[in-house]
Each structure stands twice: as C-alpha cells, then as structure tokens.
Chains A and B, each alone.
Chain A
C-alpha cells in the first residue's frame, strides 16, 4: 500500500495527538532520607533539620549553663509554659518543644509535669488520679513545679534586590518558680536566604 503525502501527514498528526493526550508517563520516585541531615529539603521556612538543630543548641546551652545544679530536688519538676509562635508559619511548636522535653527527661535531671502548664496535658492520667482520690478518699499531693519553661519563635524578613532573608529566632527562658527569677535564657537564630528565580549569583 502506498501512502499519499496527505495520509502520512494525518497519521503523524494523529500519533502526535495520541502522545500528547496520554503524556509521556514518568514514574514518581520517592526515597527515604535522614530528616535531620543535609538531604532534608531546604526551604525558606523552618525544615526538619532546623528544628533539630535549634533544639540541640538550646538543650546544650541549658546543660552547659549548670542552671539545674541548684535544683531543690532531682529530678526537678518542670512545667512547660507558653510557647508563642510569632512567625508567619503555621507550625506545631511541639516540633521544638517535644525534642527539648525528650532530651531534658533523658538527662535524669528533669521530670516534666503534665497536669500543669500549657504544654501537653495528660488527660487520662488526670482522670485516673481523680478516680484514685475518689476511691481511696485521700487527696494526693500534687508536686509544685520547681521551674517553668517559656519559649517564643520570631521571624524577621529582610528583602534585598534579589535576595530575601528570613531569620528565625528561637528564644527560651527557664524560670525558677520559688523566686520568679530567670535562671537561664538563650536565643538561637537561623537565617535563610532565598534568591529570586532568574537572578545570577549571590
């Protein structure tokens, strides 16, 4: 069979349309990376590595300060106070606080109360304590926290001609409840620069 010029053109067009409609299928690829490593996707926001870094630096600062050396008991009771998020990001502040809680608990120097403060509330534990009180008729003594932990996240945005810099500050204070004095304070910052698409060099 001999193809005419017209039918060849029609066939080519049909083939092109078919390819365009079906699309050249590309297989989506997913890989597992270290969430706290340099492979973590870096964005202008706070990524998983930034949270881990901030928590690590704050814990190291608190432990290096020896502020817990004068605690009235071991482990000292800590209540988590407010964690204010003044950034433009909708983030769960437990991304920071939980890491700090885990680290401080592992030191054996701190026990965190879950029945006081604005942190995690152990609802079932509270109910169980109430039930125990009701059944035994004895009022259990609630331990008063020796310290409270207060934190604040702040974002500052600075815009240059081609570069935007977001500086995230992680502020944290440890307050001794007996005296009301701040016995430790720290601020750690992470600055992230994002270059406008199409601009050359930093």
Chain B
C-alpha cells in the first residue's frame, strides 16, 4: 500500500481538520419531544420579512409569530425561532412597538437581548407592550 499518495494524504488531512473543527466548536444538537396533537390554539400573526443579511437568515429562522392580550389591553408577542445550524449560536434580538398612527412607541426597556440556541434548537422569545397604544411590532435580529 502506498501511504504517501498525495490525494490520500489530502483526504486524510481534510478529515482530521474537520474532526478537529467539530471537536473545538462542540457540535451539540437538541432532541425535542412534544404532544402529537397540540391542545393549544395560538393566534398566529401573518408576518412580512425584510432580509438584508442572508447569512443571518440562513442561521436563524422565524418559525411562527403569535400574539395574545394580557392585563386586559396589552399586546404580547411571541416568536418561535430555530437555529438552522448544527452548532451553538448566539442571536441578538429586539422588539419595537408601533402605535395606531404608525409612530414608534418608545419603551424604556426596549433592548437588544441575547439568547443562545444549541444546534437545530427551537426557542420562543416574547415581549409585552407596556402601553395599550402599541398595536404593531417589529422584531429585529442581528448576530
């Protein structure tokens, strides 16, 4: 057997590097189990998407967005986000509110939040409007 074959060496080298990368990045995926027939009846929101970062859009996917009313008249928004990669990723997100006239509603706690998602993991992120004037929302992502 000729072990000094350059193409074989190249393949072996690539496999070694790939293994090393997987070892260093810690490829941890998440297995999820849930009720087959969901009892919940979420009020889904049809969303419009503006993508300016294709890499980010290829890493995180918004599975669904649903809304509810809490404390009588305050809007609560929940988005389900999935990490499309097989390794741990950090997502920065922010919710913004808009009133009936289309004006931005300033909220003192409107802030970028960071969450970590394991490979292929799905998580929910949510927020509550602090004023009944908020009727619409914007959800922003950045890596």
| A residues adjacent to B (C-beta < 8 A) | 34, 36-38, 49, 52-53, 55-56, 59-60, 63-64, 66, 68-69, 99, 102-104, 106-109, 201
Q: List 5 A-B contacts (CB under 8 A).
A: A56-B113, A69-B71, A107-B131, A108-B132, A109-B71
Total A-B Cβ pairs within 8 A: 69
- Apart from A49-B112, A64-B76, A108-B132, 8 more pairs, CB < 8 Å: A36-B111, A36-B112, A56-B109, A59-B109, A63-B128, A63-B130, A99-B109, A109-B72
Interface size on B, residues (CB 8 A): 22
Main secondary structure of the interface of A (DSSP, over half): helix
Which residues in window 84-107 of B have CB below 8 A to A? 92, 107
Complex alpha-carbon distance, A132 and B19, angstroms: 79
Max chain B Cβ within 10 angstroms of own Cβ: one of A52, A56, A99, A103? A56
Given A63-B74, A69-B71, A107-B74, residue A99 in contact with residue B128 (CB < 8 A)? no
Q: Convert B124-137 into 0s and 1s, putting 1 for each residue whose CB lies closer than 8 angstroms to a CB of A.
A: 00111011100000
Answer whether residue B24 sits at the interface, using C-beta atoms and an 8 A cutoff: yes
Q: How far is the CB of A71 from chain B (nearest CB, A)?
A: 10
For A34, list chain B residues within 8 Å (CB): 112
Q: How far is the CB of B141 from chain A (nearest CB, A)?
A: 12
